[in-house]
Amino acid sequence: MPAAFRPLSAQDSTSPSLKPSTSKRESTLREPKRIKSQRLSPTLAHDHSHCVDSALASAERLCSEAGARLTPLRKRVLELVWASHKPLGAYELLDQLAQEGHKPAPPTIYRALDFLLQQGLVHRITSLNAFLGCAHPEHAHGGYFLICQQCGTAEELAEVKGITTAIDAATKAACFTVTHGALELMGTCQACIDER
């Protein structure tokens, strides 16, 4: 397998190391060089290498069950998307692959991203024209995202029944069939608020 498409190890990961905060108030993952102390939100305070490994294992299993082919490039693109909690655009992915010595054309990356979207492995963050790994690929669902306008961190929320119920009722009343939906909430994460 080409070196560019091998899974990241804990040693060569480009994501920042994760250290749980000892503070009662925790916030989102940030790059160490941008903040003095690393404070994580409860959902982001986890072993990130396990997060990436788990996402790749789920992707392989789900693609196998669906009879879909998770090629080395598709897998590497998914891995890069999961290597950060910030949504990544196609050209950011191209740049990262180029740094590894591979230069796929933009249509190749877009095809890989389309495949990952079709398989439910990533979400498109429309407002940013970027992609974020899906935390719940086992079932079809709309996405609920918290996006920090300061640092770019994004977090997928678990489905909130009240929101889902209200949207379902409103679309049913309007005789409208939803084929895809995502709720993107823009604001400021706790880490950025704490820096002020």
Phi then psi for 145, rounded to 5 degrees?
-125, 140
- Contact predicate 141/134, CB 8 Å: no
pLDDT for the residue numbered 162? 84
* Bridge partners of residue 157, in order along the sequence: 144
For the entire predicted model, the pTM comes to: 0.72
- CA 125/CA 154 separation, integer angstroms: 9
Q: How far apart are the first and last CA of the chain?
A: 46
Predicted pLDDT of residue 20: 32
Side chain identity at 50, as an amino acid letter?
H
User: What residue segments make up the domains of the chain, in order of their start?
Assistant: 3-195
| Res 60: pLDDT | 97
**Residues in contact with 157: Cβ distance below 8 Å, sequence separation at least 6, in sequence order:** 144, 145, 146
Which of the listed CATH numbers 1.10.10.10, 2.60.120.200, 3.90.1150.10, 1.20.120.140 matches domain 3-195?
1.10.10.10
Q: For residue 15, list its beta bridge partners.
A: none
Phi first, then psi: give them for residue 147, nearest 5 degrees: -125, 120
**How far apart, in whole angstroms, are the C-alpha atoms of residue 139 and residue 175?**
24
**Tokens encoding 100:** 């590894």
In the chain, which residue ranges form alpha helices assigned H by DSSP? Answer: 48-66, 72-82, 90-99, 106-118, 161-173, 190-195
The DSSP letter of residue 143 is E
Residue-by-residue pLDDT tens, the chain, 196 positions = 343 333 333 333 333 332 333 333 333 322 322 222 233 344 455 556 788 999 999 999 999 999 999 999 999 999 999 998 799 999 999 999 999 998 899 999 999 999 999 999 999 999 999 999 998 898 877 788 999 999 999 999 877 778 888 988 999 999 999 887 889 999 999 999 999 8
What gap in Å lies between CA 150 and CA 187, rounded to an integer? Answer: 8
